[in-house]
A and B are shown apart, each in its own frame.
Chain A
Amino acid sequence: MDNRIAEFRKEIKMTQQQLADKVNVTRQTIISLEFGRYNPSLNLAHSITKALKKRHIEQVFNLR
């Protein structure tokens, strides 16, 4: 699964730690997500979309 977490996170000048704190995960999990090593659950994907101030999950996550 592709994602644009890093891009949107930088857009709103948010650090990995800040995003991790917002969605209640560790910074390592955010790193894994940004590198595409780990696919999030629907819950986490939804939380990240909200934290990145986007409306739809499809804006942030895309199937390859």
Chain B
Amino acid sequence: MAQKNINKQNAAWKYGFAIIIILAGLVFWRLGIGDRFLGFSSVGTWLVYVGFVMMAVITLQLLSRKKRIVDERMEFVATKAARVTFTAIIIFAFIVMIIDGIKPITLAYSYFMSYLVCGIVLVYFLSYKVLLRFY
């Protein structure tokens, strides 16, 4: 049971992390590392993009005055959602293995990982929202 709000010290750490990501992106871009990154022109520009998105999210969190309450029921549901997501990943892995056995999957690793991460976030979010209605 706690009222969670982003404080200035937390925000400073997060801004620092975002700046490191942007700087790393600029270095990668300047040195020409990862030039053939699918979806984006290079890994560097992608990192710069992610850094700016992070900064925007942190700023929005800082500006919102609404107090966010995270109570024990939400934590309980979050744990259940994590378990559902974990099970979904295992089932998905089996399905991918079977499909790959039938017909080899030819997909760039960066695409595969980005789909996987988006899928995990989506499954977690949906299972959390659905489970919240049952508890």
**Chain A, residue nearest B132 (CB):** A28
| 0/1 interface trace, chain B 4-25, chain A, CB 8 Å (1 if under) | 0000000000000000000000
Q: Give the complex CA separation of A24 and B4 in angstroms.
A: 11
B3 contacts chain A at the CB level, 8 A cutoff: yes
| Interface contact B1-A43, CB-CB below 8 Å | yes
Which one of B26-34, B49-57, B70-78 is at the interface? Answer: B70-78
| 0/1 interface trace, chain B 93-135, chain A, CB 8 Å (1 if under) | 0000000000000000000000000000000000000001011
B60 contacts chain A at the CB level, 8 A cutoff: no
Q: Return the contact of B1 from the options A24, A32, A37, A38 (Cβ within 8 A).
A: A24
Quick one: which of A15-61 are within 8 Å of B by CB?
Answer: 23-26, 28-29, 32, 37-38, 40-41, 43-44, 47
Q: CB within 8 Å of B: which residues of A?
A: 23-26, 28-29, 32, 37-38, 40-41, 43-44, 47
Q: CB within 8 Å of A: which residues of B?
A: 1-3, 69, 71-74, 76, 132, 134-135
